[in-house]
Amino acid sequence: MDTTRNQPTVITSPEDFLAAAPGAMGFELDQSILLLGCAGPRAMHARVDLPRCSEDDAQVLQQFLPAALGNDVAAVALIVYTDDVHSAARFTDHLLAACSREGIQVIIALRVDRGRWYALVDGVVGARPEGVPFDISSHPITAQRVLEGRRVYASRAELAASLDPDLEAVAAVERALREARPVAGARAVRRVRSVVRRHSRSRRPPSDALVAEVVSALADDMTVAHIVSAMDREGAAARLEFWIGVLRRTPPAHVAQVAGVTAVAAWLAGNGALAWCAVDRSVAGGQEHPVATMVGKLLSCGVPPDVWG
C-alpha cells in the first residue's frame, strides 16, 4: 500500500477529487484503488493495485481500514482506476459495508477509465450512465501543484525509476571508496550529519569522496541508527533530495542501508509512495535492512510522520 499525507485541499466536485489524486500520490494512477481521507486531523491517502477477486478485496480492506482508523479519518473518497466495471462495483460494495461497520462515511466513489468518470454510488452530482468526460490539465489544483514545483510521474514505475543508480556516478564513488579513510563511531556520526546539513542547505551535490565517506560510515548499523533517530520533519524535502542523490550514486554493497535512510527521509517528507520505492530498493539486492523494514511497517499501518520523535 502506498500511503502519504498532504496539506488539506478544498474539494467540492468529482473533478476536484480527480485533480487532487495524482498530486496526493506523486504519480498518475492506473489499475489502482485510491482512498482519500477527507475528514479528520490527518488527511491520509492510500493506494493499492486493483484487487482481482473477493479474497483480494478483503486483504485490501485489512490494510485500508486500520490505516484510516489509526489516523482518525472520519470520511473517505474512493477512486477506482480501471475498465473492469464488475471489479470496481464489487470492491465498492465491500468498502461501503466495512466503512459502515466502522462508522466511516464514504462521501463519494468514482470509477475512472479513459478520460471519463463514472459514479459508483448514488447521489453524485453530474453523474451520467455513459460517464462524464474530464480534463484536469488546467484544473486549479493541478495549476497549484505545478506552481509549487510538485512533480507527478507518469506511473509508479517511473517514480521508482527516480531512485535508479546513475552507473557512471556509482563507478566514480566505487573508485573513491577504495581511497577513502574509514571513519567510525561518534566521529562518523558527526561527519555524516555535517555533510547532510551542509549539502541539504546548499542543494549542491556532494563530491564523490564525500559520498564515499557517507556510504562507508553507514555500513555500521549504529551509525545508521544515530543518523535516522536525529532526523525530523524540518527541512525534510531538502534532506530527501540529498539522500536521493546519494542513493543514486551508491555502490550495490551499500544500497540496503542507504535506501533505508532514504525511505525514512521520504516518509518524513510526507512522500509515502517514494518511501515505499526506497524500501523496495533496499531489499532488491537480497538484503533486508532493519531501517527499511521499520519504514515498511509504518507505511503499511498508515502511521503519519508527525508522530516521529
Checking DSSP bridges between strand 2-5 and strand 44-49, what pairing results, if any? antiparallel
Q: Where are the domains of the chain?
A: 2-157, 162-307
The per-residue pLDDT for range 108-149, each reduced to its tens digit, is 999 999 999 999 999 999 999 999 999 999 999 999 988 888
> DSSP character for 48?
E
Q: With 90 as the cut, is the pLDDT of residue 70 above it?
A: no
Fold for domain 2-157?
Cytidine Deaminase; domain 2 (3.40.140)
Q: With 60 as the cut, is the pLDDT of residue 7 above it?
A: no
pLDDT, position 258:
97
pLDDT, position 41:
63
pLDDT-based confidence at residue 301 (cuts at 50, 70, 90): confident
- SS3 state of residue 47: strand
pLDDT-based confidence at residue 37 (cuts at 50, 70, 90): confident
Distance from the Cα of residue 224 to its chain's centroid: 21
Q: With 70 as the cut, is the pLDDT of residue 305 above it?
A: yes
Phi first, then psi: give them for residue 55, nearest 5 degrees.
-65, -40
What is d(CA 284, CA 113) in angstroms, rounded to the nearest whole number? 32
Query: What is the residue-averaged pLDDT of the chain?
Result: 91
